Structure 1
Amino acid sequence: MADCIFCKIVDGSIPSKKVYEDDKILAFYDLEPQAPVHVLVIPKQHICCANAVDESNADVIAHIFTKIPEITKTLGLDNGYRIVNNCGDDGCQSVKHMHFHILGGKKLNGQMA
């Protein structure tokens, strides 16, 4: 998608501090971290949000979740981490390209809202 900031990060026209990359996904540091470690994991394919996951693209979402343990290990998140996905305006999804936040590096509070 031409106007999507994450698609521009995927194609290299916007730089990012990469943590992990393969043919399906990209993980990079968030520019406005909410925890000592805050990484975003995105599919390279533009999928707008969780509501757009279907049989044609579910494999890339499964791939993300098989790679997250590998990514978190390289980040030193041995004591745990949180994975967050925001969907839609009421869910505070700021970029309309599906992404997962990996948050860690300290004991996170228990509040989710």
Structure 2
Amino acid sequence: MSKTLFQRIIDREIPAKIEYEDDRCIVIHDIAPAAPVHLLIIPKSVIPRVGEATDSDEAVLGHLLVTAGIVAKKIGIPKGFRLVINHGPDACETVPHLHVHLLAKRQLTWPPG
């Protein structure tokens, strides 16, 4: 099986602007931002999509959410942010490696769409 785009970034085979990294995840700037701040929080372990996560992925999934808060504080997002996880083509998933989008620094609409 070939590596996902995110695995290649994690392995430093493809360059990315890294905002944060620890032993369980990496946070990079999206190359096609949908907001002034658009970060991707990516687990280093491959979980294809959220609907395929198992009980053994629970700690990693929680870590991604905690990391979102850490990074938001680090880069100074005082008014709020949105987290998005896409699942499948109808949700515009483009890389089969679960990741969390952190969007901020513009007024986000509701419902999203």
TM-score (norm 2): 0.94
CA RMSD for the aligned pairs? 1.1
User: Is 37-46 or 67-76 further displaced after alignment?
Assistant: 67-76
Q: Which runs of 5+ in 2 are unaligned?
A: none
Q: Distance in 2 between matches of 1:51 and 1:30?
A: 23
Aligned length: 113
SS of the equivalent of 1:103 reads strand
Cα deviations by residue, 1:55-74 (Å, 9 ceiling, x for unpaired): 11111111111121110111
Instruction: Report the residue type matching 1:19 in the other structure.
Output: E
TM-score (norm 1): 0.94
Structure number having the greater helix percentage? 2
Instruction: Report the Cα offset of residue 107 of structure 1.
Output: 1.5
Q: Residues 37-56 of structure 1: matches in 2 within 5 Å? A: 37-56=37-56
Partner of 2:18: 18
User: Percent identity among equivalent residues?
Assistant: 35
Q: Distance in 2 between matches of 1:20 and 1:2?
A: 25
Q: Which runs of 5+ in 1 are unaligned?
A: none
